[in-house]
Amino acid sequence: MGFRKKNKSPPVLSHEFVIQNHADMVSCVAMIILLGLMFEVTAKFAIMFITVQYNVTQTLDDRPEPVNFYQYGPKDIATVFFYLLIAIILHALIQEYILDKINRRLHLSKTKHSKFNESGQLAAFYLFSFVWGCSILTAEEFVTNPTLLWEGYPHTQMAFQVKFFYICQIAYWFHALPELYFQKVRKEDIPRQLYYICLYIFHITGAYVLNLHRLGLVLLIPHYLVELLFHASRLFYFSDENKQKGFTLWALLFVVARLLTLTLSVLTFGFGLSRTDNQGFSLAEGNFNVLTIRMTCLSAICLTQAWMMWKFINFQLKKWREQTQIQASKKKAASPKSKPIKKDSARGGSVNGVMKAEDRTSPRARKSKTS
């Protein structure tokens, strides 16, 4: 892990050395790019990595001052690469100075330790992205008017915050791929994490390239809220297993988010874009409004939502079975085993094989009493 002091240093460039010092190595690469701004020869290349490219200045009727908009292009790959490095550094900082300290206090098992780190990192990212996305949505008009999601397509021009938001989103999910190696994720957890990482990259990059950033932004914010609630609930659950109320609220919002995603997707691809005047395919204009692409996008979203609902149902069934087994074991432990009291009536009023004190006299004494 980066920034961590070790008593025994592993061999240079070994796997353990790279894992322990990956944040320091990435920081050096980022510093080299930043130092490129100091020299005139390299400044134009360094700016391509750091700042957002492809700005277009326009003058609007309702604003006397010119407004800067942004488009996408091949240079965005360099910008995504730089902020991928920043994401790796921030990941190491959160792990080292927050999550590892909490893990030492909780004394979790290896399985819970891995899940705790995963939920901690994702909860921080979802919280930051949700707050940032909400601030962007408050400044946009298509929140109150859903028809703007498809009217005026293709939406080739983006505000600075919108483009920078997508650059950071793509960079974060690409950085999650090498983190599987840096964090020593268990082999059985790698396929599950690869699934959702690749789905995020596919959907977010697709919305960015196909000029569907409005729809993508509207769908991401409620989804991030639901995921934030889930991982926050899991963090509280690891600290105290009795804290499970957050999962109930998450289950309700999860279903609502899936229905909202399907509704907006069908409205946009099935009704909105199919009825616009600007139909056709043009890479120069950024227009991808053809039936094949619309159906492909809608099918991808519907299949993803169906897969998520399938995983959600399996998770709920597994949780219900575990709770049923726990309750059954508690009932067995609470019911005491009552021992039956043996009464032997054949031995003259003896209880449990013991003769009463008044019946312990000899036969001669009994005859004298009767006489």
- The whole-number average pLDDT for the span 90-99 is 94
Q: What is the pLDDT of residue 336?
A: 60
Is-contact 26 85, C-beta < 8 A?
yes
256: pLDDT strictly greater than 90 = yes
Q: What is the pLDDT of residue 355?
A: 47
- The whole-number average pLDDT for the span 62-68 is 78
Q: Mean pLDDT across the chain, nearest whole number?
A: 87
Q: Which of 121-130, 276-285, 320-329, 355-364 has the lowest mean pLDDT?
A: 355-364
Tokens representing 42 are 């390299």
pTM of the model: 0.85
What b/e string do you get for 173-211 counting C-beta neighbours within 10 Å, with b at 16 or more?
Answer: bbbbeebeebbebeeeeeeebeebbeebbebbbbbbebb
Sign, CA torsion 213/214/216/220: positive
Query: In whole angstroms, how large is the CA radius of gyration of the chain?
Result: 33
Q: What is the pLDDT of residue 364?
A: 53
- Can you name the residues that pair with 58 across neighbouring β-strands? 67
Tokens representing 290 are 């053809």
**pLDDT confidence tier of residue 112, bands split at 50, 70 and 90:** confident
Q: What is the pLDDT of residue 7?
A: 55
Is-contact 173 142, C-beta < 8 A?
no
Is-contact 221 130, C-beta < 8 A?
yes
pLDDT in tens, 184-219: 898 999 999 999 999 999 999 999 999 999 999 999
**pLDDT confidence tier of residue 303, bands split at 50, 70 and 90:** very high
Report which secondary-structure segment, H or E, holds 42: helix 40-50
115: pLDDT strictly greater than 60 = yes
- The whole-number average pLDDT for the span 296-325 is 92
**pLDDT confidence tier of residue 67, bands split at 50, 70 and 90:** confident
Q: What is the pLDDT of residue 331?
A: 79
351: number of CA atoms within 13 Å, CB side? 5
Query: What does DSSP assign to residue 193?
Result: H
**pLDDT confidence tier of residue 363, bands split at 50, 70 and 90:** low
Count of Cβ atoms closer than 10 Å to residue 33 Cβ: 19
Q: What is the pLDDT of residue 13?
A: 75
Q: Which residue has the higher pLDDT, 271 or 344?
A: 271
Q: What is the pLDDT of residue 64?
A: 73
- What whole-number distance in Å separates Cα of residue 76 and Cα of residue 167? 8
Q: What is the pLDDT of residue 240?
A: 80
271: pLDDT strictly greater than 80 = yes
Q: What is the pLDDT of residue 32?
A: 96
How far CA 23 is from CA of 46, 102, 170, in Å, comes to 21, 20, 20
| φ, ψ for residue 56, nearest 5 deg | -130, 125
Nearest CA to 196 out of 211, 177, 215 is that of 177
- The whole-number average pLDDT for the span 16-45 is 93
- What whole-number distance in Å separates Cα of residue 46 and Cα of residue 346? 105
**pLDDT confidence tier of residue 38, bands split at 50, 70 and 90:** very high
Q: What is the pLDDT of residue 131?
A: 97
pLDDT in tens, 336-351: 654 555 544 444 444 4
Q: What is the pLDDT of residue 1?
A: 45
Nearest CA to 319 out of 251, 253, 258, 252 is that of 251
Nearest CA to 117 out of 260, 271, 286, 234 is that of 234
135: pLDDT strictly greater than 70 = yes
What are the DSSP E strand ranges found in the chain?
A: 55-58, 67-70, 280-282, 287-289
Q: What is the pLDDT of residue 250?
A: 93
What b/e string do you get for 12-28 counting C-beta neighbours within 10 Å, with b at 16 or more?
Answer: eeeeeeebbbbbeebbe
The amino acid at 66: P
Q: What is the pLDDT of residue 352?
A: 47
Helix axes 213-239 and 160-182, enclosed angle (nearest 10)? 40
Nearest CA to 225 out of 147, 122, 322 is that of 122
Q: What is the pLDDT of residue 142?
A: 74
Using a pLDDT cut of 90, give the percent of the chain over it: 62
